[in-house]
Amino acid sequence: MLISDLSVRRPVFATVISLLLFILGLGAITRLSLREFPDVDRPVVNVETRYRGASSDVVESRITQIIENEISGIEGVERLNSSSRDERSQINVEFTLERDLDSAANDVRERLSRVAARLPLEADPPQITKVDSGTDPIMWLNVASTQRNMLELTDYMERYLVDQFSTLDGVASVRMNGARRYAMRVWLQRENLAARQLTVADVENALLRENVEIPAGRLESREREFSLRTDTNLRTEEDFRNLVIGRGPDGYLVRLGEVADVRLASDDDRSISRTNGIIGASMAIVPQSKANVLATSKAVRERLAQIQPTLPKDVTIDINIDNGVYIAASLENVVWALSETLILVLIVIFLFLGTARATLIPAVTIPVSIIAAAIVMTVLDYSINTLTLLAAVLAIGLVVDDAIVVLENIVRRIEGGEPAVLASINGSREIGFAVIATTLVLMAVFIPVSFMTGDTGRLFGEFGVTVAAAVGFSAFVALSLTPTRCIDRFAGF
């Protein structure tokens, strides 16, 4: 074999190639994302529309059905789920595995542009988001206070805490649950409205007409120029109470405070968050889709330790849920299985070869082949997960086969009286095509798993390619590094 002959004549070259594969593999491992299972989620696009003040029936007929009828004809739609609640419509469009998520989202946007004119003017524009496995939070942090109310606590979190975590590497966004934000609440009194011959629409029109900020142009002279700004925004409770919403028959100005109770309060008090019975707000840490979950979890914990001394005495932050702990435990079990497998394989090799120096030759193949497989995983945008680690466990017993066969044939020739160098060349050349054939057969068994269709193919796709890549690198190491190691170990046999 050309590879074996070159390696025996240039042992340093063979050693450097194996070291290069090992180093590149270590570099590739650092670039791989870490997750519990492969990404098998189907492409899903979420469409959410808010229509404040509308009941679920109105939302269903005026928004949900219209959007459903328009987007149901998009190519590749496999399942369409919708829910209509008070003030909110939510539609999840699930596409086939073959559809690209970005392309599917663009198709949904194009269809929604057709029905925008048919939606109620009071409804907010539909919000389109691409849903993937990375949108599930990995951590939940609870923030509570013994002195502040929920409005003050939410304001403090948005000012000082949210940005602290959202800027961390691997964090896509920070969502708040149970938060309550300041808003000017207006409770209309129907008797007072009726007495002044006004309706809810009159109040709404007055708020839309008066509470605005519009450009007012600028003043110019020969030497100076001033920008004009119309300060018409309503900011305080008193500003809203003094808002003129109508005029009586005798010219009397009807103000909002006469027909409504105006107070600065929470914009929505229908949700609440509690931890151990204490009212607070929760922050959900959402990782990036390709982020290392364990590294992100560690970064959040480190930032939390830095923030703790700066918190006010009445504010506390605790970690409620950390999925990184569970993922780390699952991966740790697989790593232990990987270590146990490695030890058992070395013991079996030692029992049959009989000497420690002979055992070390095929043992070198294991780390080089397994770690070099990470190069292929990085190129194909795979991740380190339970199944790829299980693939490494299985590959340990396969990658040593070629090295053992080459080693045994070389040792047989040395025992027959051939010099170590000649035995390494002839032994590798004699067995080379058999090693390649065996390797191709093993790769042909595992690679088709990656081409399976459906969820099963997506789940085991990374598993099959990882095993095949490790076996392929093991053949190269067996035909290049193993003959050179035999010369060093058995030169004085």
Same domain, 218 and 126: no
CA distance 17 to 271: 61
In a domain, 442, yes or no: yes
User: Of 244-248, 333-337, 411-415, which gets the smallest average pLDDT?
Assistant: 411-415
Residue identified by tokens 């006010």 is 312
SS3 38: coil
In a domain, 310, yes or no: no
- Contact (Cβ atoms closer than 8 angstroms) between residue 139 and residue 246: no
In a domain, 110, yes or no: yes
- Contact (Cβ atoms closer than 8 angstroms) between residue 234 and residue 240: yes
Residue 325 has pLDDT above 50, yes or no: yes
Q: Tokens representing 136? A: 């599930």
- Contact (Cβ atoms closer than 8 angstroms) between residue 253 and residue 242: no
Helix (H) or strand (E) holding 7: helix 2-9
What's the domain count of the chain? 3
Helix (H) or strand (E) holding 139: strand 139-145
pLDDT band at 492 (very low <50, low <70, confident <90, very high): very low
CA distance 173 to 246: 45
Same domain, 14 and 48: no
CA distance 234 to 206: 12
Same domain, 480 and 444: yes
Same domain, 441 and 337: yes
Residue 177 has pLDDT above 90, yes or no: no
Closest C-alpha to 280, from 149, 139, 137, 181:
149
- Contact (Cβ atoms closer than 8 angstroms) between residue 92 and residue 48: no
* Mean pLDDT along residues 265-277: 75
Residue at which a domain ends, from 113, 131, 149: 131
Task: State the pLDDT at residue 489.
Answer: 55
CA distance 46 to 94: 9
Residue 135 has pLDDT above 70, yes or no: no
- Contact (Cβ atoms closer than 8 angstroms) between residue 402 and residue 365: yes
Query: In 10 A of CB 340, how many CB atoms?
Result: 11
Same domain, 48 and 34: no
pLDDT band at 23 (very low <50, low <70, confident <90, very high): very high
Same domain, 102 and 118: yes
Task: Provide the greatest CA pair distance for the chain.
Answer: 125
In a domain, 217, yes or no: yes
Residue 1 has pLDDT above 60, yes or no: no
Same domain, 199 and 119: no
Residue at which a domain ends, from 98, 131, 164: 131
Task: State the pLDDT at residue 493.
Answer: 43
DSSP-H helix ranges across 127-253: 150-156, 162-166, 190-195, 200-210, 237-241
DSSP-H helix ranges across 416-490: 420-446, 454-490
Main-chain phi, psi angles of 462, to 5 degrees: -65, -30
Task: State the pLDDT at residue 230.
Answer: 72
Task: State the pLDDT at residue 331.
Answer: 76
Residue 166 has pLDDT above 90, yes or no: no
Task: State the pLDDT at residue 133.
Answer: 46
In a domain, 64, yes or no: yes
Residue at which a domain ends, from 100, 115, 131: 131
In a domain, 305, yes or no: no
**CATH code for the domain of 126:** 3.30.70.1430
Task: State the pLDDT at residue 132.
Answer: 54
CA distance 149 to 120: 36
CA distance 56 to 35: 38
Q: For residue range 352-392, what is the model confidence (pLDDT) as tens digits?
A: 777 777 777 788 888 888 899 999 998 888 888 888 888 88
- Domain span at residue 6 reads 2-38+327-490
> Which residues, at least 6 apart from 256, have a Cβ–Cβ distance to it below 8 Å?
186, 203, 206, 240, 241, 242, 243, 244, 245, 262
- Contact (Cβ atoms closer than 8 angstroms) between residue 264 and residue 184: yes
Rounded to the nearest 10 degrees, the angle between the axes of helix 386-415 and helix 323-353 is 10
Same domain, 7 and 47: no
- Contact (Cβ atoms closer than 8 angstroms) between residue 263 and residue 188: no
Task: State the pLDDT at residue 305.
Answer: 92
pLDDT band at 220 (very low <50, low <70, confident <90, very high): confident
In a domain, 275, yes or no: no
Task: State the pLDDT at residue 2.
Answer: 67
Closest C-alpha to 418, from 323, 320, 476, 491:
491
**CATH code for the domain of 208:** 3.30.2090.10
- Contact (Cβ atoms closer than 8 angstroms) between residue 487 and residue 421: yes
Closest C-alpha to 410, from 398, 422, 396, 402:
422
**CATH code for the domain of 427:** 1.20.1640.10
CA distance 12 to 15: 5
Q: For residue range 98-130, what is the model confidence (pLDDT) as tens digits?
A: 788 788 888 898 888 888 888 888 888 888 887
> Which residues, at least 6 apart from 320, have a Cβ–Cβ distance to it below 8 Å?
140, 141, 142, 275, 282
Q: Tokens representing 241? A: 């109470």
- Contact (Cβ atoms closer than 8 angstroms) between residue 160 and residue 153: no
> Which residues, at least 6 apart from 454, have a Cβ–Cβ distance to it below 8 Å?
97
Residue 4 has pLDDT above 90, yes or no: no
Query: In 10 A of CB 9, how many CB atoms?
Result: 12
> Which residues, at least 6 apart from 127, have a Cβ–Cβ distance to it below 8 Å?
47, 48, 49
Same domain, 336 and 476: yes
Closest C-alpha to 414, from 425, 400, 404, 403:
425
Same domain, 34 and 62: no
Same domain, 370 and 484: yes
SS3 363: helix
Q: For residue range 237-246, what is the model confidence (pLDDT) as tens digits?
A: 888 888 888 8
In a domain, 308, yes or no: no
Task: State the pLDDT at residue 393.
Answer: 84
User: Of 59-73, 119-133, 160-174, 187-201, which gets the smallest average pLDDT?
Assistant: 119-133
Task: State the pLDDT at residue 402.
Answer: 81
Same domain, 407 and 352: yes
Residue 303 has pLDDT above 90, yes or no: yes
Task: State the pLDDT at residue 307.
Answer: 92
